[in-house]
Amino acid sequence: MARDFKQVDVFSAIPFQGNPLAVILDAEGLSGDQMQSIARWSNLPETTFVLPPTDPANDYRVRIFSPQEEFPFAGHPTLGTAYALLQEGLQPKSHGVLVQECGVGLVTVRIAADGALGFRAPAAQFEQMNVQHLPLLHRALGVDAIAPGHAPVAANMGICWLIVRLETVADCLSVSPDVSALAELMQLTACNGMAIYAPYGPGGPADYEVRAFLLENGLLVEDPVTGSANACIARLQPGENYRVRQGTALSRDGRVAVIFEDGEPWIYGQAVTIIDGEINC
């Protein structure tokens, strides 16, 4: 069956600089196993499948798959799916706002005047990493530059990230994770991946540099730009708006804007369509 399909680049208005996402715009009739097979075949960080909402007051429902597993929530798939649906002509039920159903419940997506899309960061559960794991973390990072006063924490937002703040952007960009140490650390902390970040000085291209790492089939994967990791980091910040650059180590230039409203962080980014057509599935 031919189904409408888009591949979009998220967290960039410039093609090939952000994080790619495959979107199946009408997934009715597909089983979970079929969705997982399609996601495995697309081999992108995530593939999303759009379904009718269970509550007609909401705009749509989405299921989110990596090549390995289904996620109850992920950030760049949330924005990329909303962007693809708007490009396809979806009319929001509330002006300037989309309401997405997914595994963590309802996620609100706002449409900014400049075309950027933003989601309110879901609530996260935080657990400070056991200090006994610090030597293993240092081995996983390959650097001993954890920022003083910022204990590493496991942040669970449907997908769980070990959040580590480093002292400098140079430290952040120099990290080349040790796969075996990272795998052991992920098992001990029950995290899906590790997100590291560091502040730029005045006049930098952004306020923070972010990198995110996962293991897939035992292989290290660096995610180009990560909405959920940035949302978890935002929940650790004092509440001032800031800008993020991510993807530098991959020769990408992903951009994320974090805007606080009434103390709640919203994660904003642009997107652009790369492929528009049909997929037989």
Residues labelled catalytic: 46
Q: Are 267 and 118 in contact (CB under 8 A)?
A: yes
Strand partners, 6: 23, 276
Cα-only R_g, the chain: 18
The first and second tokens of residue 199, run together, are 């502040």
The string of DSSP letters for the chain reads -EEEEEEEEES-SSTTSSEEEEEES--TT--HHHHHHHHHHH-SS-EEEEE--SSTTSSEEEEEE-SS-EES--HHHHHHHHHHHHHTTPPPSBTTEEEEEETTEEEEEEE-TTS-EEEEPPP-EEEEPPGGGHHHHHHHHS---BPTT---EEEESSSEEEEEEBS-HHHHHH----HHHHHHHHHHHT-SEEEEEEE--TT-SSSEEEEEEEEETTEEEEESS-HHHHHHHHTTS-S--EEEEE-GGGT--EEEEEEEETTEEEEEE-EEEEEEEEEE-
Phi, psi of 140 (to 5 degrees): -65, -40
Contact 246, 209 (CB under 8 A): yes
